[in-house]
Structure 1
Amino acid sequence: MMRNMAGKRLSLHGNEIYVEESGSGDTAVVFESGAGAGRTLWDAVVPLLGDVATTVAYDRAGRGRSGRAEPPQRIDDMADTLVALIEALAPNRVILVAHSMGGLIVRRAADKLAPSLAGLVLIDPTPETAPNYDDWAPTARKTDRILAVQQFLARSRPLMRVLTRSYGRMFAPATYDTMLREDFTPAGLTHTRHEIRAVASAITEFRSRPPELPTCDVTLITSSRANRLQSRNHDIIREYQRRYGESVGAHIEDADSEHIVPAERPEQVAAAVRRLLGG
């Protein structure tokens, strides 16, 4: 199982970043997770690509096995670290695969990566222009309060197993156990709170200073289902995801999944990458 993989640490953009590489190929596929997740989000996807590409999954600064990030990172800081990672490990040809908040990071990073950027796969990305983000501050504060409670409760791993049982159903046991040790801990949830604040700031920043539209091929995968907490704005988010996809000429497809598409539909994610690889 992938959790036996040996990783390495790199000093990038002033941060110690933990990276896991596997597979082989002239093109590197680099994965960028959404808020609250690290390299383990991609455990079901990575093995499906090792025969056609070099895969790179990593923990952002402050998350998982990477070093602490001081001060808390902005989306632009995360993008700069991603660019440094690619320059170190994949300077010739890269495909970026991003989930949720990770879409903001890779879109900002894409500005600095041409001509090595061969494609983007955006999976249920955060569409900053959607009207439900016009006054997102109250939602961000409510989310922070929920995470603060979870941060306190995370002192008890048995309790966190109960609170995160949906992840236990979606991910393989070895992956889920790693998430419990790294992400669903007081330190991990503290960093998730920082990431949610970074998203809140990025909404305004992206609206006033949007990234350049990517010139590479783009695939956009949207989740067709929503859980109870996400259902209110699901249709709006899908609409604005599609609007962005149409603005860049993306190949757009639905996933029969809720938000965590890499866990529920890993074969679909891998197929999207393979199409960009030309095979």
Structure 2
Amino acid sequence: MRQATGRPVTVNGHQLYVEESGTGPGHVLFEAGQGLGRTSWDPVLPLLPDRARLIGYDRDGFGRSPRSTAPLSLDQLADDLVALAEAVVPGRFVLVAHSMGGLVARRAAERLAPRLRGLLLIDPTPETAPAYDAIDAIARRVDRTLAVAQPLTRFRAFARLASGNVRRVFPADTYAAMLAEDFVPAGLAQTRREFRAVAGAIPGFRADPPAPPTCRTVLLSADRPRRGGERGHPALQAHQRRWADTLPDGRYETVDSGHFIQAEQPALVADRIRELLDGPA
């Protein structure tokens, strides 16, 4: 079983649960995708123990982080990321984000820019992608589905069935922690809040996108589409490539993997983190 231990850190008037490992000279801060937390980085962390101090955390209301009473927005999540970096990361660092976490990381990177040695985005969906064209209708449909599933996750058999995409790719001990912390009624309730927050943020992202990161940026794109997303996958990859190509120091790279690249190709993710750590100090 995973033996990681962590601590609560107070940011912006509420607590976030943080786990730290590794003993190297650099620092890496990890931002999880939607519906997951710090445990989603378990496959990568053992590959970097002597390269950096590795910092994962649970966003507001996920995992072991208590749910705050403040209204949830994507800007608030970015504020928490900035405050957490100020609280636990000395000096410059590499920021790694998966999926929806890429939106949070990009918004936070506007303020963190002087401290970023590099930014690694793992299969994000840029705000320009057609997948967001009907985001309000999609959000309502997803919310209805999750509202039905939320109370049913009290039953472990249903929770295992509903989380099969995660169970198939993450180690057994990591999945056990996810099942206990994320695929429970409180976890799905927070996922619903986050999805609504993302839906509300997309129009603003499209009208006034975050400033392009000035640090070295690598975008890893999953070559295998998510279930049900086969038709839109080429367009998603085109928008990912287009966004990376606009950056002053950006790189787009396809990976033989599904959406959870950090679980299916952890060695490659670790290699890209090393590249960013080895860049200009």
TM-score, length-scaled by structure 1? 0.96
1:244-263 mapped onto 2 (5 Å cutoff): 244-248=243-247, 249-263=249-263
Does 1:86 find its partner at 2:85? yes
For the residue of structure 2 that corresponds to 1:96, the secondary structure is: strand
- Judge conservation of contact 2:26–2:93 (CA < 8 Å) in 1: yes
Partner in structure 2 of residue 64 of structure 1? 63
Partner in structure 2 of residue 127 of structure 1? 126
Deviates more, 1:208-217 or 1:184-193: 208-217
- Judge conservation of contact 2:43–2:262 (CA < 8 Å) in 1: yes
Q: CA deviation at 1:152?
A: 2.1
Which amino acid is the alignment partner of residue 132 of structure 1?
A
- Alignment partners' CA distance in 2, 1:136 and 1:221: 23
Partner in structure 1 of residue 37 of structure 2? 38
Partner in structure 1 of residue 156 of structure 2? 157
Which amino acid is the alignment partner of residue 52 of structure 1?
R
Superposed CA deviations along residues 17-39 of structure 1, whole A, max 9, x for unmatched, are 00000002332100001110100
- Judge conservation of contact 1:32–1:98 (CA < 8 Å) in 2: yes
- Judge conservation of contact 1:26–1:93 (CA < 8 Å) in 2: no
Which amino acid is the alignment partner of residue 271 of structure 1?
D
Which amino acid is the alignment partner of residue 206 of structure 1?
F
- Alignment partners' CA distance in 2, 1:27 and 1:132: 36
- Cα RMSD for the two superposed structures: 1.3
Partner in structure 2 of residue 172 of structure 1? 171
Q: CA deviation at 1:137?
A: 1.3
- Alignment partners' CA distance in 2, 1:173 and 1:44: 11
- Alignment partners' CA distance in 2, 1:108 and 1:222: 20
Does 1:19 find its partner at 2:18? yes
- Judge conservation of contact 2:20–2:53 (CA < 8 Å) in 1: yes
- Judge conservation of contact 1:45–1:267 (CA < 8 Å) in 2: yes
Deviates more, 1:212-221 or 1:165-174: 165-174
- Alignment partners' CA distance in 1, 2:261 and 2:120: 12
- Judge conservation of contact 2:240–2:252 (CA < 8 Å) in 1: no
- Structure 1 residue runs without a partner (length 5+): none
**Inter-CA distance 51–130: structure 2 relative to 1 (3 Å threshold):** same
- Alignment partners' CA distance in 2, 1:150 and 1:226: 24
- Alignment partners' CA distance in 1, 2:39 and 2:222: 20
- Alignment partners' CA distance in 2, 1:19 and 1:94: 16
TM-score, length-scaled by structure 2? 0.95
- Judge conservation of contact 1:72–1:194 (CA < 8 Å) in 2: no
- Structure 2 residue runs without a partner (length 5+): none
For the residue of structure 2 that corresponds to 1:167, the secondary structure is: helix
Partner in structure 2 of residue 183 of structure 1? 182
Q: CA deviation at 1:228?
A: 2.8
- Judge conservation of contact 2:8–2:16 (CA < 8 Å) in 1: yes
- Alignment partners' CA distance in 2, 1:71 and 1:115: 29
- Alignment partners' CA distance in 2, 1:246 and 1:122: 14
Partner in structure 2 of residue 276 of structure 1? 276
**Inter-CA distance 154–215: structure 2 relative to 1 (3 Å threshold):** same
Q: CA deviation at 1:140?
A: 1.4
Which amino acid is the alignment partner of residue 269 of structure 2?
V
Q: CA deviation at 1:115?
A: 1.6
- Alignment partners' CA distance in 1, 2:191 and 2:226: 20
For the residue of structure 2 that corresponds to 1:8, the secondary structure is: strand
- Judge conservation of contact 1:91–1:116 (CA < 8 Å) in 2: no
For the residue of structure 1 that corresponds to 2:112, the secondary structure is: coil
Using the aligned pairs only, state the percent identity: 50
Partner in structure 1 of residue 239 of structure 2? 240
